[in-house]
Structure 1
Amino acid sequence: MWFRHSGAGRGLRTLGVLTAAFTTVVASATAATGAPAEEPAPQPPSGVSEEYVVSFSGAPETAVAQIEAAGGTVEDVTEQVGIALVTSTDGAFMDDVRARSEIRGAARNHAVGTTVPGMPHRYAVERPRGGSAGHGHDPSRNGQRAEPLADLQWDMEMIGATPDAAQRTATGRGVDVGIIDTGIDASHPDLAPNFDGERSRNFVTDIPDIDGPCEVESCVDPADVDDGGHGTHVAGIVAADDNRFGIGGVAPDATLVNVRAGQDSGYFFLYETVRALVYSGDIGLDVVNMSFYTDPWLFNCSSREEYIEGTVTDEELAQQRLVRELVLGAVAYAHERGVTLVGSAGNEATDLAAPTRTDETSPDYPPDTARPRVVADTCLNLPNEAPQVISVSAVGPSTTKADYSNYGLGDIEIAAPGGWFRDFVGTPRFQTPGNLVLSSYPLHVAIAEGLADPTGQPVDEFSINYCDDRGRCGFYTYLQGTSMAAPHVAGVAALVIGERGRPTGHGGRALDPAVVAAVLAASAEDHACPAGGVEDYTDEGRPPEWNAVCEGTTDVNSFYGEGIVDAVAAVRR
């Protein structure tokens, strides 16, 4: 089935000119490291199809001819940044294509035909289980909020993204927000009014061995569905409509554009990620939310010297360099075209400013190939650590940094509500669903994942099926993670652009991403480090190695960056 790339969504395209800015960023992915090289990894046997990303210089036509001469079949070209998606059954393809004059580098996009029965969902960590029941729904607490489930949205109250606060001034009208994720369920009643189906795209082909059976013959889902659920949850935080139904988003009048780069299983491979970023720049999106990292490497190194502990093959190092160069280039491409880029800092409880980083999960694809390693802090988590991306850490409802959230002085720009199941230890709220972030979720995914029974009714207190008196129903679930924190910032960015941006002539608004970032930083609510400078999570049941040292001042520190995002101050500043 893996030869369906040439079907819907992936024909050979030449979409523009190779940009000088990208050429400056991209160097050879196979440059010498200056350190003794290990033996190259074995090549796949001939006859087994593999998918590759090939970076090229010069004319696409010349590159395509050289790729084909090396035994590859070009499935797609993103000419703006000089890359091609290629399949090949030739075990020597990478060695051959790298030797060609117009080729800058090549690496596997992902393996093909890896069978992993019962593989866990990538985002399982964001759905804790156990603890006390109850989410405390009390419609009488809604006050001026029209949304029936508004009293469950502590996150919106925390940042002032409510009709009686920031949304009295700005609602995101005229602002386009791209969601680079697993998709958006455009049939959800809270998302349908704001969904732009015309500009939404899916750059992903389902892989049955990790994503489950294909839902359509081509394995390329329509751009208005989400079979993973994560993207729909993110989209609801950004822009669930204020329609007297379900929940409300941070920017309830913003337009949602699905720019899908994630597999149903939660993997975000290199080519799809770059393709989505380039598309976001080309169509002029105002904001893009990126709650993911590019697989298969949590941290991408460029040289063997950056490995403090652990081993790496030549091929793996070349792949990491190519991820760095292509994602950094694609981020720069989108940013230069006016896209404000917001990313989640990650859920590894890691100090990103420390001299070294421990990684026990990479490479995470193919599964079961990870080898523990310790690498230097120059090995980057991408796209989050690209210089143009606003990096967001997560807090719980008490405003304490969530134990899982990454942190780091100089790495975290701003904090936002991400939920924390273990917040309020020693009180009845400890380990209750209400400590997490409630947002929209596809019903069919909820049923498939066992969150709801076959009739659509939730099986526990972690989800809600809301129906109005007209018979419309929408499913919602609680999740936690920096994946949930980032879209709060993306939503406030949309409010800022809607309030301060210049008219574009078609009802839209636009604002320089540097200005947006500056407003977000200047308006964030300062949050001091904990007394003594250490957040101790042992009371919450974590081992001592989870304790985190906070560095910096009340104005700027490693936990909260410039502070917790403040929608009211941002739109009034």
Structure 2
Amino acid sequence: MVVGVSLSACSMVSIGREEPERSGGSATSGGASSPTSSAALPQGTQSTSSVTTYPVTEPEGLEWVVLVDDPAQTRAVADRLLGAGEPVISVNTAIGMVAVRTSDEDFEERAAQVDGVSAVATDRDPAWQGPEEDGSGATSLTAAPSVPAAWRGAPAQTRTAGASAAPKADPFDDRLWGMSLIGAPQAQAAAGDGDEGVTVAVIDSGVDVTHPDLSGVVDVERSRNFVVDRPEIDGDCEQDSCVDPVEEDPSGHGTHVAGTIAAARNGLGVTGVAPGVRLVNLRAGSDTGMFYLAPTVNAITAAADLDVDVANMSFYVDPWRYACAGGAPGDTPAQAAMQDLTIELVGRALADAHDRGVTLVAAAGNGRGDHGDPGTDTTSPNYGGEARERTIDADDCLSLPTEGEHVIAVSSVGPDRELAEYSDITSDPSSGTLDLAAPGGPATGGPDAVLSTYPVAALREDGLVDGEGRVTDAGAQMGVERSCPRGTGADDADPSARCGYYQGLVGTSMASPHVAGTAALVISADPDLTPDEVAEVLGETARSQRCPATPSAAGPCVGDRDLNGYFGRGLVDAEAAVDAAEKQAG
């Protein structure tokens, strides 16, 4: 068993590891000045002003996270590790983190002796070989954070540009009950579609930038992928670098989120909450939908580096649904150490992004859980070890980033404005761990799922779209839709990939981007607002909602109409929020 945390008590020693081969050159891609030493960077390195990622040389090794006590010393610590031949894969100078991927069993002991290092931990037990298959073919990992909207007998629709009767509406906008519920069309009519100078970061599984509803919206030059594939769970690396191209989204989750925020008003498919703003794709989710610590905090930091205004986070940091200070009872020392690092580094990253002007929005979670009194967690760890029943104390444990400081946490409602039965809640509404509600769709999905953009490649892989771009019978049953330019009929092939594809999903993952898009409209109306002021505008203008007579399976509703554990301060209201921001701006 790995000893999970090591306190530094010694000065730098000679580590004595053979230097791995790294190709020469000084290529960096985009961003502001690099947080690197004066030495030339290897080919394949990318950087922002605080985050540098390096080519992976040992893809099958354990991923270690090194905590630097003083973030100002991060570069010096990283240079010591690099100089000793350690295979560093990322350096984050804003929060004091270095990540290393290595197969060397002695790395932890060596790294702990480096001057400036306060802790070293990994999220994987070396004895763990990967998820086991159960009888249904599902892995031991938790379910994806959103649920496909499957319903039988619903025919696929191919709508062409201009087919909608609503002026300036895109073809499927009449299906977007969530936009109507939050008053997005009214906000757009009154104040426009948002300012192109406002940027929202989609910290997620990636964004398919070839999708016709997103291709002109995503700023590819500023986008980054911070994820290095882990072969033990992701399978063989598709790229020599084990880093997928930034233009791809293997799961579809991030593309769906992106469309809700800012799908273009272009005569195809759907229109987002803020179709006039720009998106930046900051990928932190792996091929299998896991959000590990290092990629996640690097993405949050990069959002601040890239002058992003809003960041949407529809995930929790794996492998712990709840990270507990000192670990939960029964956790191993290694597991406790990784949870301590998760709490510390996510906290540092959120504080840094907030202080640099990023409004942070996150999904509450889909576990029917109570953040105020979590009880037991049977899903963790969902990577790196065997899940077991853990007793969770709300005083010591956090679901991150949702319960982090400065984060607007969002629960999910259906078309009837009732809490979705899967949505997490809190029995302590004054704690600030649940702030607003937004449309995420009911658990039953079907036609009430949230329809948004989806990558055609992912649909093809699942057999929902054929090789010529037609929606298959299976796709029709899963609610897949296609929208094409004029001249492409309902049964026509799409060899030039001009059509956009759309899928219905449900979850708090779908609720959060409704709030992120509204925040972007608010900032467009008053660019001088701070993140705290944006949060206050959203809260003050939310439509308050009283507790229902019938409680959720997650627990009773605590609080009153103005603030409760199901809806926070209420359902986000884009029209009222934008109006308030405009009045405040004068």
TM band (smaller chain): 0.7 to 0.9
For residues 21 and 350 of structure 2, the distance between their equivalents in structure 1, rounded to whole angstroms, comes to: 28
CA gap 1:129/1:566 in 2 versus in 1, 3 angstroms: closer
2:376–2:392: 8 Å Cα contact kept in structure 1? yes
Amino acid at match of 2:441: G
CA gap 1:381/1:93 in 2 versus in 1, 3 angstroms: same
SS of aligned partner of 1:226:
coil
SS of aligned partner of 1:251:
coil
2:149–2:506: 8 Å Cα contact kept in structure 1? no
SS of aligned partner of 1:518:
helix
* Other-structure match for 2:349: 330
Number of residue-to-residue matches in the alignment: 507
Confirm whether residue 369 of structure 1 aligns to residue 382 of structure 2: no
For residues 559 and 5 of structure 1, the distance between their equivalents in structure 2, rounded to whole angstroms, comes to: 52
1:176–1:254: 8 Å Cα contact kept in structure 2? yes
Aligned match of 2:465 in 428, 452, 457?
452
Aligned match of 2:484 in 467, 480, 485?
467
For residues 97 and 577 of structure 2, the distance between their equivalents in structure 1, rounded to whole angstroms, comes to: 38
Give me the TM-score of the superposition, normalised by structure 2. Answer: 0.80
Aligned match of 2:63 in 51, 63, 67?
51
Confirm whether residue 168 of structure 1 aligns to residue 175 of structure 2: no
Amino acid at match of 2:452: S
* Other-structure match for 1:32: none
1:74-115 per-position Cα deviation (integer Å, ceiling 9, x unaligned): 232112221111133332322442344421111115578945
1:123–1:266: 8 Å Cα contact kept in structure 2? no
* Other-structure match for 2:271: 248
For residues 565 and 281 of structure 1, the distance between their equivalents in structure 2, rounded to whole angstroms, comes to: 25
* Other-structure match for 1:552: 559
SS of aligned partner of 2:266:
coil
For residues 254 and 61 of structure 1, the distance between their equivalents in structure 2, rounded to whole angstroms, comes to: 34
Amino acid at match of 2:506: Q
1:123-159 per-position Cα deviation (integer Å, ceiling 9, x unaligned): 5462256655438979987534520011111111111
For residues 183 and 382 of structure 1, the distance between their equivalents in structure 2, rounded to whole angstroms, comes to: 19
Amino acid at match of 1:185: D
1:264-275 equivalent positions in 2, closer than 5 A = 264-275=287-298
Aligned match of 2:361 in 330, 337, 342?
342
For residues 326 and 170 of structure 2, the distance between their equivalents in structure 1, rounded to whole angstroms, comes to: 52
* Other-structure match for 2:40: none
Aligned match of 1:75 in 82, 89, 96?
89
Amino acid at match of 1:372: E
* Other-structure match for 1:564: 571
For residues 479 and 245 of structure 1, the distance between their equivalents in structure 2, rounded to whole angstroms, comes to: 19
Amino acid at match of 1:557: N
1:6–1:75: 8 Å Cα contact kept in structure 2? no
1:249-288 equivalent positions in 2, closer than 5 A = 249-288=272-311
Amino acid at match of 1:550: C
* Other-structure match for 1:416: 438
CA gap 1:444/1:387 in 2 versus in 1, 3 angstroms: same
1:419-464 per-position Cα deviation (integer Å, ceiling 9, x unaligned): 1133xxxxxxxxx511110000000111112333343314224211
CA gap 1:446/1:114 in 2 versus in 1, 3 angstroms: farther
Deviates more, 1:218-227 or 1:558-567: 218-227
Deviates more, 1:205-214 or 1:404-413: 205-214
CA gap 1:9/1:526 in 2 versus in 1, 3 angstroms: farther
Amino acid at match of 1:561: G
* Other-structure match for 1:515: 533
* Other-structure match for 1:205: 228
For residues 4 and 405 of structure 1, the distance between their equivalents in structure 2, rounded to whole angstroms, comes to: 48
Q: CA deviation at 1:172?
A: 1.7
SS of aligned partner of 1:466:
strand
Q: CA deviation at 1:209?
A: 3.8
Confirm whether residue 438 of structure 1 aligns to residue 466 of structure 2: no
Confirm whether residue 499 of structure 1 aligns to residue 506 of structure 2: no
CA gap 1:105/1:158 in 2 versus in 1, 3 angstroms: same
For residues 391 and 66 of structure 1, the distance between their equivalents in structure 2, rounded to whole angstroms, comes to: 39
For residues 144 and 197 of structure 1, the distance between their equivalents in structure 2, rounded to whole angstroms, comes to: 30
1:10–1:76: 8 Å Cα contact kept in structure 2? no
* Other-structure match for 1:405: 423
For residues 54 and 492 of structure 1, the distance between their equivalents in structure 2, rounded to whole angstroms, comes to: 37
Confirm whether residue 15 of structure 1 aligns to residue 35 of structure 2: yes
SS of aligned partner of 1:194:
coil
CA gap 1:189/1:140 in 2 versus in 1, 3 angstroms: closer
For residues 101 and 152 of structure 2, the distance between their equivalents in structure 1, rounded to whole angstroms, comes to: 50
For residues 4 and 466 of structure 1, the distance between their equivalents in structure 2, rounded to whole angstroms, comes to: 48
CA gap 1:115/1:485 in 2 versus in 1, 3 angstroms: same
SS of aligned partner of 1:557:
coil
Percent identity over paired residues: 40
* Other-structure match for 1:427: none
1:71–1:88: 8 Å Cα contact kept in structure 2? no
Q: CA deviation at 1:337?
A: 0.4
1:47–1:91: 8 Å Cα contact kept in structure 2? no
1:433–1:478: 8 Å Cα contact kept in structure 2? yes
1:243-289 per-position Cα deviation (integer Å, ceiling 9, x unaligned): 11100000001101001111121111111111111111111100000
Deviates more, 1:57-66 or 1:474-483: 57-66
CA gap 1:230/1:61 in 2 versus in 1, 3 angstroms: closer
Q: Which blocks of at least 5 consecutive residues in structure 1 are unaligned?
A: 18-45, 423-431, 503-510, 537-545
1:142–1:150: 8 Å Cα contact kept in structure 2? no
Give me the TM-score of the superposition, normalised by structure 1. Answer: 0.82
For residues 47 and 198 of structure 1, the distance between their equivalents in structure 2, rounded to whole angstroms, comes to: 26
SS of aligned partner of 2:559:
coil
Amino acid at match of 1:126: S
1:126-275 equivalent positions in 2, closer than 5 A = 126-128=146-148, 132-134=152-154, 142-162=165-185, 164-173=186-195, 174-275=197-298
2:142–2:382: 8 Å Cα contact kept in structure 1? no
1:86-125 equivalent positions in 2, closer than 5 A = 86-109=100-123, 114-116=129-131, 120=139, 124=144
* Other-structure match for 2:15: none
1:66–1:97: 8 Å Cα contact kept in structure 2? no
CA gap 1:329/1:480 in 2 versus in 1, 3 angstroms: same
For residues 197 and 73 of structure 1, the distance between their equivalents in structure 2, rounded to whole angstroms, comes to: 28
CA gap 1:48/1:524 in 2 versus in 1, 3 angstroms: closer
1:368-407 per-position Cα deviation (integer Å, ceiling 9, x unaligned): 6111111101300111111100000000111110000001
CA gap 1:393/1:152 in 2 versus in 1, 3 angstroms: same
CA gap 1:521/1:50 in 2 versus in 1, 3 angstroms: same
For residues 187 and 151 of structure 2, the distance between their equivalents in structure 1, rounded to whole angstroms, comes to: 33
SS of aligned partner of 1:80:
coil
Aligned match of 2:322 in 299, 309, 314?
299
For residues 391 and 125 of structure 2, the distance between their equivalents in structure 1, rounded to whole angstroms, comes to: 25
Aligned match of 1:289 in 308, 312, 325?
312
1:465–1:473: 8 Å Cα contact kept in structure 2? yes
For residues 47 and 133 of structure 1, the distance between their equivalents in structure 2, rounded to whole angstroms, comes to: 45
Aligned match of 2:551 in 520, 523, 535?
535
Q: CA deviation at 1:352?
A: 1.0
2:205–2:286: 8 Å Cα contact kept in structure 1? yes
CA gap 1:358/1:115 in 2 versus in 1, 3 angstroms: closer
SS of aligned partner of 1:560:
coil
Q: Which blocks of at least 5 consecutive residues in structure 2 are unaligned?
A: 1-19, 38-57, 489-497, 581-586
Confirm whether residue 480 of structure 1 aligns to residue 506 of structure 2: yes
Deviates more, 1:124-133 or 1:336-345: 124-133
SS of aligned partner of 1:548:
coil
